[in-house]
Structure 1
Amino acid sequence: MTNLLILQGLNGLQFGVLLFLVAAGLTLIFGVMDVINLAHGAQYMVGAYLAAAFTGLAGNFLLGLVLAVPVALAFGLVLEWLVIRRLYDRSHLDQVLVTFGLMLMLNEGVRILWGSAPISVDLPEALSGSIPVWGTLRYPVYRLAILGAGLGVALGLWWMIHRTRLGMLLRAGASNRAMVSALGTDINRLFLLVFGAGAMLAGFAGAMMVPVISAEPDMGDTVLILTFVVIVIGGIGSIRGAFVAALLVGLVDTLGRSFGPILLRSLMEPDMASQTGRTLAPMLIYILMAAILAVRPAGLFPVQR
């Protein structure tokens, strides 16, 4: 039982940092730009397909990952310039409708370019295998690499937001966008950088996951839903909140799916416990969100406005 707890705890943390990579960009876009971007999950999908495509061309996943990240950034910059900047002064309903249509277009676009069949990528040889973490328990090296990369990005974002001029502008923009613009900051350029960085982070998350789960159309839709749960729990516009909430969601979701049926066996028959546990497990993160919002309606670490 101890080994299972440690294993699923590590899986939950790895899932949590993956959600943070996607949520960090979305919470900045929503918090600073006040734009609801339903196409953000599709950018996660695009990152996975770019990594798969570049890996096939280069014959090396790590090189494919290095090539996919700047292309994901460029894709986000072009998307902001062509579509998103026309939504800044529109209502949230208009933003939802346009970005939902954009999400459908991107999903169909990958079907046209790569087909509907899943595309898999082999693990890089340098990161294959497993290492001992507790007694006889071993854990895949690549999943630890994902965990380390996510924590590294979180640390880098914290430093950028709290120790640089750009971060100061982002925090000020999240608090009072009109005042930042009035003080002489090119708000359109700031928004362009924010959206591009968000697309890059989502693309990086998708690229990192493609050796674990195959790239396929619509793969970003589920991640998008969980990402919105993360930013609502953490507080819109808060990177710290997104990080804490992503780890909470990752752990609750993973441990709930693993231990829910086990705990229910003490109350009901094994078959019924397994079925009930599988039914209740997907609900746990929403119960968590409802419980937190009942106590803190603005989230754990809301940005002051």
Structure 2
Amino acid sequence: MLLIEQALNGLQYGMMLFLMAAGLTLVFGVMGLINLAHGALYMVGAFACAAVAGATGSFWLGLAASLAAAAAAGAVVELLVIRRLYARDHLDQVLATFALILVFSEGTRWLFGSFPLYLTLPPLLSGAVTLPGGLQYPLFRLALIGLGAAIAFGLYLLITRTRLGTRIRAGEADREMVAALGVDIARLYTAVFALGAALAGLAGALVGTIQSVQVGMGEPVLILAFVVIVIGGIGSVKGALVGALLVGMTDTLGKAFLPGVLARLIDPSAANTIGSAIASVLIYVLMAGVLIVRPQGLYGERGMA
């Protein structure tokens, strides 16, 4: 039962990482942009959800606000700042988007203060369900797994079956040719950036119901999102999903079981600390192993920058 419960926790964690990494890999793959401010958009979505839900008493309105606020913030950032960075080298992109992290963090602190906010689950998603075998598992976490899977399928359909998806794939392969064929590349880039920001904002709002909503909450998740897209392959939504699930499972199962294994060899109090630290390191060991075997990532194209 413990193994099944922790596997479900890892699956839920992986789905949340996927929502964060999917937008990042789209932006990186299509636009060639290193966007360190992606975590700030995750934070914007969380705060928008908490603020609207607190003011209206409706979690669902807060969830809609997280999508709208993050997408709008992403579109504004792309129009005012990011658009000037496409022709610049990656160092300029890193410095500019790092500055955006500071702007968003201080702006959020000015608006909401430094104290964390908390989200309350709606009655529809509260409580637990009994799974086969008698395991009691939180309904909301199961809903997160289902929502993540649905969004992954929706992104697959968007990328492979729609005109916008065709343009996104074409823009990733040869943006100059796409522009020559009459596609408005500037508008396409804004749409892709806003889509990625909306996914990040949604992830922030959902995670905010499990943890707290606070300034700076996006930076730790951003690091893991970069690990995910490196494992999965830059520009690949399928790779982002597989990479996120691998990272989520590795982190969750490692933290659940490594302390118990080490406790048989060393002092239990030290085993808990060391086991959690090793579990965190295993994520990067996994990334290194994938890069040794496939430098382009699991689903990336060989030679992609």
Partner of 1:43: 41
SS for the counterpart of 1:277 is helix
Output aligned runs, 1:235-250, within 5 Å. Answer: 235-250=233-248
Deviations 1:110-144 (A, max 9, x none): 11100111100111111100001132311111111
Partner of 1:228: 226
Deviations 1:129-176 (A, max 9, x none): 000113231111111111111111100000011111211111121122
Partner of 2:138: 140
Deviations 1:28-47 (A, max 9, x none): 10100011100000100110
SS for the counterpart of 2:235 is coil
Q: Is contact 1:174–1:303 with CA below 8 Å preserved after alignment?
A: no
Partner of 1:156: 154
SS for the counterpart of 1:134 is coil
Which stretch of structure 1 is more off in the superposition, 272-281 or 112-121?
272-281
Task: Give distance in 2, aligned partners of 1:242 and 1:68.
Answer: 22
Partner of 1:197: 195
Which stretch of structure 1 is more off in the superposition, 98-107 or 72-81?
72-81
Task: Give distance in 1, aligned partners of 2:21 and 2:162.
Answer: 21
Task: Give distance in 1, aligned partners of 2:179 and 2:15.
Answer: 33
1:25 offset after TM fit, Å? 0.5
Partner of 1:297: 295
1:48 offset after TM fit, Å? 0.3
Partner of 1:185: 183
Task: Give distance in 2, aligned partners of 1:207 and 1:119.
Answer: 11
Deviations 1:265-301 (A, max 9, x none): 3443434432321221210100000011110001000
1:10 offset after TM fit, Å? 0.6
Partner of 1:76: 74
Q: Is contact 1:175–1:303 with CA below 8 Å preserved after alignment?
A: no
**Match of 1:81, as an amino acid?**
L
Partner of 2:168: 170
Partner of 1:56: 54
**Match of 1:62, as an amino acid?**
W
SS for the counterpart of 2:136 is strand
TM-score (norm. length: structure 2): 0.96
**Match of 2:220, as an amino acid?**
T
The alignment's C-alpha RMSD in Å is: 1.2
Aligned residue pairs, count: 303
Identical residues among aligned pairs (%): 56
Task: Give distance in 2, aligned partners of 1:61 and 1:272.
Answer: 41
1:184 offset after TM fit, Å? 1.7
Q: Is residue 105 from structure 1 mapped to residue 98 from structure 2 by the alignment?
A: no
SS for the counterpart of 2:35 is coil
SS for the counterpart of 2:215 is coil
Partner of 1:30: 28
Partner of 1:20: 18
**Match of 1:104, as an amino acid?**
L
Task: Give distance in 1, aligned partners of 2:147 and 2:273.
Answer: 35
Task: Give distance in 1, aligned partners of 2:174 and 2:258.
Answer: 44
Partner of 1:121: 119
Task: Give distance in 2, aligned partners of 1:181 and 1:172.
Answer: 10
1:241 offset after TM fit, Å? 0.3
SS for the counterpart of 1:131 is strand
Unaligned runs of 5+ in 2: none
1:243 offset after TM fit, Å? 0.5
Task: Give distance in 2, aligned partners of 1:62 and 1:115.
Answer: 24
Deviations 1:190-231 (A, max 9, x none): 100000000000001111222111110000000000000000
Pair 1:303–1:173, CA change in 2 (3 A):
farther
SS for the counterpart of 2:145 is helix
